Amino acid sequence: MAFAAFGTSTAATEQAPRRRSPVAIILLLPGLAYLALFFLAPLVSLVITSLQAPVEFGDVGQYQAAFQIENYAKVIQDYWPHFLRAFGYAIAATFFALIISYPLAYFIGVKARPWPLLQAVMLTLVIAPFFISFLLRTLAWKQLLSDDSAIATLLKNLTILPADGHITGTAFSVIFGLTYNFIPFMTLPIYTTLERLDTRYLEAGSDLYASPATTFWRVTLPLSMPGIVSGTLLTFIPASGDFINASASFLGSAQTQMVGNVIEAQFLNLLNYPLASALSVILMGLILLIVGVYVRRSGTEDLL
């Protein structure tokens, strides 16, 4: 066996050091300027606002520069249940969206491959809700789930729902609304990875004594991780900051308020900009933390 001769010939050739070219920097400039102007500057302004203190004897909504770190302590003390709810609802919605989207994406991306027309129609159907305003669709659900709607009546008749029970205004309806609204964001990335899934790997799995369930668990699922990770991020991040579904004028009630609702109220109704900013900074920090841990744990840093 003379294979050894070929064994060592695998060392990759070192890449030549890249030449520094001013062209790359010039091409990057507009993007960098955009980021600095519309992301970095507002972020700095947000942090500065979050530390402001009210102007003494001033009007409502008048604040001055300060270093009032107590703002943070105060919002955590007052609103920790809203944070908990925001992340709880977002995680639940992400989970349900994943459970619903994965089989759907698998069907469109793998099973429907022999019928491109069917694939196109189903993809269009996934995207179709985007053509109608997010607010209108959520309001429509409010109607469908309202106390005297057919759904609620049916559930009451079946005694699943108590006679004086509601669907809207509960944690259920908020999670339902979040799940519904973010399903396309989950489905599309998963579809993109599954659409590229080489079914020959599945045949190899079957050839190597793996049952369809084992093949799915050991081969299909790991290979679709990039899609799952981007889908869950695209759902979880906006869902945890969402303030529409949980709002009392949509599917929520006073008992289902999320951080997004508090920020909205502080900013627009109470004009308490420092508290709203502090809430935003904390929310952003927590999302970054959760996402960072998640991406690290899922082991897909190099796949993203």
Partner 1 sequence: MAIGGFAEAGADLELVGISKRFPGFTAIDDLDLTIPAGSFFALLGPSGCGKTTTLRLVAGLETPTVGRILIGGKDVTDVKSFKRPVNTVFQSYALFPHMTVLENVAFGLRRRGIADPVGKAHEALRLVELDHLAARKPQQLSGGQQQRVALARAVVNRPALLLLDEPLGALDLKLRRQMQLELKSIQSEVGLTFLHVTHDQEEAMTMADTVAVMNHGRIEQMGAPEELYELPKTAFVANFLGQSNLFTGPVTNSGGSSIVVDIAGVAVEVPRERAQRHAGTVTIGVRPEKLMLHTSAPAAKAGTNVLGPGRVTDVSFSGVSTQYQIAVLGIGLVTVFAQNMVFGPVVNLGAEAWVAWSVEHGFGLADEPEHAPKFSPDTDTATIAAQTRHELLAEIEES
Considering the complex, state which of residue 175 and residue 219 has its C-beta at the smaller distance from partner 1.
219
Query: Nearest CA to 102 among 245, 217, 239, 241?
Result: 217
Rg over CA atoms, the chain: 25
Residues present in the chain in total? 304
Choice between 15 and 143, CB closer to partner 1: 15
Smallest gap, in angstroms, from Cβ of residue 304 to partner 1? 15
Q: DSSP state, 167?
A: S
Helix axes 150-157, 134-145, angle to 10 degrees: 30
For the chain, the straight-line distance linking the first and the last C-alpha, in angstroms and rounded, comes to 41
For partner 1, the closer CB: 9 or 159: 9
Q: Which of 138, 120, 204, 211 is nearest to 174 (CA)?
A: 138
Instruction: Compute φ and ψ for 215, nearest 5 degrees.
Output: -60, -40
Beta carbon nearer to partner 1, 34 or 111: 111
Q: Which of 246, 244, 242, 235 is nearest to 291 (CA)?
A: 235
Shortest distance, position 258 Cβ to partner 1, whole Å: 36
Comparing CB distances to partner 1, the nearer of 218 and 296 is: 218
Q: Using CB under 8 A as the criterion, which residues of the chain lie in contact with partner 1 when the complex forms?
A: 1-4, 6-7, 9-10, 198, 200-201, 203-212, 214-215, 218-219, 222-223, 225
CB of 217 to partner 1, least distance (A): 11
- 111 three-state secondary structure: helix
User: What is the rounded distance in angstroms from the CA atom of residue 209 to the CA atom of residue 221?
Assistant: 17
Q: What is the DSSP letter of 256?
A: G
Q: How far is the CB of 206 from partner 1 (least distance, A)?
A: 5
Minimum gap (Å) between residue 214 Cβ and partner 1:
6
The least distance separating partner 1 from the CB of residue 35, rounded to whole angstroms, comes to: 34
CB closer to partner 1 out of 215 and 280: 215
